[in-house]
Every structure is written in C-alpha cells, then in structure tokens.
Amino acid sequence: MKQHTFTIITGASMGIGKAFSFECAAKGMNLLLVALPDAQLEEVKRELESSFSVTVLIFPLDLTQNGGVESLYQFCLDKKLSIQMLINNAGMGAGGRFENIALEKYLQIMDLNNKAMVLMCHYFLPLLQKESHSYILNMSSMEATLPLPYKAVYTGTKNFVYAFSLALREELKKGPVSVTVVCPGPVLTNPDALRRADAHGNRAKWIMASSEQVAKSGLEGLLQGKAVIVPGRVNQVLVRMMKLMPTSLKMNLLERLFRVYSTH
C-alpha cells in the first residue's frame, strides 16, 4: 500500500470494524474511520495513534442520514485524500418473528446494510479507480447463503450485499479495483450477538469467531484479491455442505435450529 493513501472503514468504533482498524494500522495504512457520533471513535483514534505510526482521521456520521455519504465524500475531496481501500463494515440486524418487529427498524436495517453500502461504492469508486491497485470489502454474513428464518430482513440484506459484491467484482475485473465479500458466522461483538450465542448454547462455539479473527482473514483475503471469504474452517465446510442440500430440507432444518430467535 502507498503511504499517503487512506483506507476508509465504516462502523469502526467497535466490534469487527474496530478490529479491521487495528489490522490495517498494523500494516501501516492511514485510516479514515466512520461511525455514529459518540465518544468511542475518538477513543479508537487515540488507541491507534499510540500504537502505530499512521495518520488516523475520524468522521462521525450516521450513514443512513440523507446526504451523509455525500458529506464524507466531500470531506475526502476537500482534504485531497487518495483512497486505496474501502471497508463497508457498518451493519445492523434484528431477530424475531417478522411481524413482531417494527417496520421502522426494518427500514433502518435496509438503509444501513444496503443503501449506504451502495452509496459508498458509487461515490468512492472514481477515487479508487485513480489508484493502480485498490480494494472494496463489503461485509455480508454466512446468512447470505443460509437464509435464516426469524431474521428474514437481515438475511435478505446480507444476501443483497453478497450478490451485489460478486456482480460488481465481475464488472470491475479488468480495472484496478478488486471487490471482496466477507461472510462471517457468529461473532461476539454486541449484546444482540451475545443473546443469540447464548440461545444456542455449546453448539454455537463451533462456528464462533472473534472480531480479530474475522478482520485478519478478511484483510488477508482482500489483499490476495479473493472473491468470497468465509472465516473459519468449520464455517467453510458448513456452507459447502448446506449448498448440496435440497432447499426445502435445508430451510426446514434452519427453521428448527433458529426457532429460538422467534421469541427474541
């Protein structure tokens, strides 16, 4: 990576996004970190700058706000930043019976997981195309290929991220921008992830990863130009096995396994 270029990471104040920030800083990348306006982003900047010799800029922003992504893009133009890597990590979900969750929540999830990601790619692609090699990482989930009952909207948005990323990658394959999609299994990051892991008891331990593991394998795969990354051997085998299963059988099994979410 060139020293004067920047990596943008969304959702960088905690969880997987924060772990990506540390992985990237350890590789000497300058960072532009984005998350909701609160004190955590400042704290991450302090931690990074005390551990690594890189420049860390922060841009507190609600990515779902009208004009939000545009203001981030304008900030980069004003500062004349070269962008070599875009990590679209920010995302949210909700579990429970479809009809029990407020429509407002679903619209928020779709705005963040899909609309904001498309806006980010659309605004920043011209800047990425100015570099000789550049990268887009979009954060999906294992659920993109294993549609989860009781998380129908979240699963749908992650399937969108997956399909969008593979299609965009093909469109861009003759140019300098490499697109990668990451599909982690469960990661203990936020209270919702903790509740879901608890509900599954010991079974969840086999497919659980830490934020650091996801960020490490995500960044390695991204720099190698991989199309799809499923962190963790057990998860890779699971995804392959489930692809071979007839859809009705697979969905029936998934409904039984994830029925515990129906009361969340």
Ligand X SMILES: NC(=O)c1ccc[n+]([C@@H]2O[C@H](COP(=O)([O-])OP(=O)(O)OC[C@H]3O[C@@H](n4cnc5c(N)ncnc54)[C@H](OP(=O)(O)O)[C@@H]3O)[C@@H](O)[C@H]2O)c1
Contact pick of 25, 48, 187, 219 for ligand X (by CB under 6 A): 187
The CA distances from residue 216 to 63, 178, 211, 254, in Å, are 25, 18, 9, 29
Give the Å distances, CA to CA, from 130 to 78, 84, 111.
17, 9, 28
The answer to whether residue 190 forms part of the interface with ligand X (CB under 6 A) is yes
Kindly state whether residue 38 participates in binding ligand X, applying the rule CB under 6 A: yes
Q: Among residues 112, 121, 168, 181, which is the contact residue for ligand X, using CB under 6 A? A: 112
* Residues 141 to 170 in contact with ligand X, rule: CB under 6 A: 141
Q: Is residue 36 within the footprint of ligand X (CB under 6 A)? A: yes
Q: Binding mask 203-232 vs ligand X (x if CB under 6 A, - otherwise)?
A: ------------------------------
**Could you tell me which stretch among 32-40, 168-176, 226-234, 252-260 binds ligand X (CB under 6 A)?**
32-40
Q: How far, in Å, are 31, 56, 240 from residue 81 at the CA level?
A: 11, 12, 41
Q: Least distance from C-beta 130 to ligand X, angstroms?
A: 25
Rg, C-alpha atoms of the chain = 18
Note whether 229 and 131 are within 8 A (CB): no
Exactly one of 17, 95, 149, 218 binds ligand X (CB under 6 A); which one?
17
Alpha carbon dihedral 165, 171, 177, 179, in 10-degree steps, equals 20
The number of angstroms, rounded, from the C-alpha of 152 to the middle of its chain's C-alpha atoms is 18
Closest to ligand X by CB, 131 or 213: 213
Alpha-carbon distance of 113 to 129, in angstroms, equals 23
Pick the binder of ligand X from 62, 131, 212, 255 (CB under 6 A). Answer: 62
**Site residues (vs ligand X, CB under 6 A):** 10-17, 34-36, 38, 40, 61-64, 89-93, 112, 139, 141, 184, 186-187, 189-190, 193
